Amino acid sequence: MADQSRDRSPISRRDLLKSAGAAGAAALLPGAAAAELPKALPAAAPAPLAVAPTGPLMNLTAQETEILGAMVDRLIPSDDMGPGAVEAGALRFIDRALSEAESDSVQAYRTGLAALDHYSRYTRGAPFIELSDRDKDSVLIDVQLGGATGAEVGFVGSSGSFFNMVKSHTWQGTFGDPTYGGNVNFIGWDILGYPGVRMRVSEEDQSLMEAGQLPPVRRSAYEYGQFQITGGEE
C-alpha cells in the first residue's frame, strides 16, 4: 500500500516484495524448481495492461467490484516502479477463482466488502472508494490488524481473516501462472524480477543470471509438456 502520492509509503513496493518473495511466485508454478534470481534483469518491452473491470464481475455486484478493485489497488499499487495488481488482472483472477476453486468464499467476499465499506463510512466519514489513498491505507491497516470493530460493522470473525483472504488471492492473481487468469503479460513476474520457468539451466545461463544479464522467459508453465492442469480445468 502507498500513501496519497503513491511513491512514498510506510509500506513500499520494495517492502511488499521482500515479504512476498520471488520464491512465493515460483511456488505458484506447479513443479517448477526456481533457480536463484539475478540481481537485475533487462527491462522487458512494454506490454498492454489489463483493463480494470468497470461493471460487475460474475460473482460480485458492480458496487462490490468497485470496492474490491480499490482494495486490490492499494495492496499492490501501480507506481514509479511499474503497474500493480489491478493492471496485472488480479480482479479477473479472483472472480474466476470464486467461480471455481474458491466458490465457497463468495459470501465471505460479499460480507467482507460490505463490512469494509461500512467501517470506512463509520470511521472516516465516506465510502471506501471515495477516501484518499492515505485514508484507504489506514482503513486497511485497521482491517488487517483485526481492529475494524464497533457499530456492528459486519465482519464475520476477525476483520484480519478477510484481509488475509483478499491479500492471498491478490498475490496469487498478480504473481501466479497466467494460465489462471492473472499475471497479465507477466506483469507480476516482471515486478519480482522472476526469470521464468526453465526446464534446464546451462552453465552459460547460470553465469548470465549471476551477472544479471539473463533474459527472462515469459512463458506459462503449462506450455511445457511436463505440466498438466488437473481438476477438470481447461
Domain presence at residue 231: no
Domain presence at residue 183: yes
Name the nearest CA neighbour of 204 among 196, 192, 213: 213
- Contact partners, residue 41, CB within 8 Å, separation at least 6: 193, 195, 212, 214, 215, 216
Domain presence at residue 228: no
* pLDDT for res 226: 57
The string of pLDDT tens digits covering residues 33-45 is 333 333 333 444 4
80-84, 120-124, 180-184, 215-219, range with the lowest pLDDT: 215-219
Domain presence at residue 230: no
pLDDT category at 51 given cuts 50, 70, 90 is: low
Please give, one letter per residue, the 3-state secondary structure of the chain: CCCCCCCCCCCCHHHHHHHHCHHHHHHCCCCCCCCCCCCCCCCCCCCCCCCCCCCCCCCCCHHHHHHHHHHHHHHCCCECCECCCCCCCHHHHHHHHHHCCCHHHHHHHHHHHHHHHHHHHHHHCCCHHHCCHHHHHHHHHHHHCCCCCCCCCCCCCCHHHHHHHHHHHHHHHHHCCHHHCCCHHHHHHHHHCCCCCCCCCCHHHHHHHHCCCCCCCCCCHHHCCCCCCCCCCC
Question: What average pLDDT does the structure give for the chain?
Answer: 76
pLDDT category at 173 given cuts 50, 70, 90 is: very high
* pLDDT for res 97: 93
* pLDDT for res 127: 97
Domain presence at residue 6: no
Q: C-alpha grid cell for residue 111?
A: 460480507
Domain presence at residue 41: yes
pLDDT for residue 8 is more than 90: no
* pLDDT for res 115: 96
Domain presence at residue 72: yes
Q: C-alpha grid cell for residue 189?
A: 513476474
The string of pLDDT tens digits covering residues 118-143 is 999 999 999 999 999 999 999 999 99
* pLDDT for res 181: 84
* Residue 57: domain span: 14-45+53-223
Position with higher pLDDT, 190 vs 232: 190
pLDDT category at 157 given cuts 50, 70, 90 is: confident
Number of domains composing the chain? 1
CA 233 to each of CA 27, 91, 97, 179, 197: distance values in angstroms, whole numbers, following the listed order: 19, 19, 11, 10, 21
pLDDT for residue 26 is more than 70: no
State mean pLDDT over 180-191: 87
* pLDDT for res 153: 83
Domain presence at residue 1: no
The string of pLDDT tens digits covering residues 72-116 is 999 999 888 789 999 999 998 999 999 998 999 999 999 999 999
User: Are 199 and 219 in contact, with CB atoms under 8 Å apart?
Assistant: no
CA 75 to each of CA 40, 71, 111, 216: distance values in angstroms, whole numbers, following the listed order: 24, 6, 19, 25
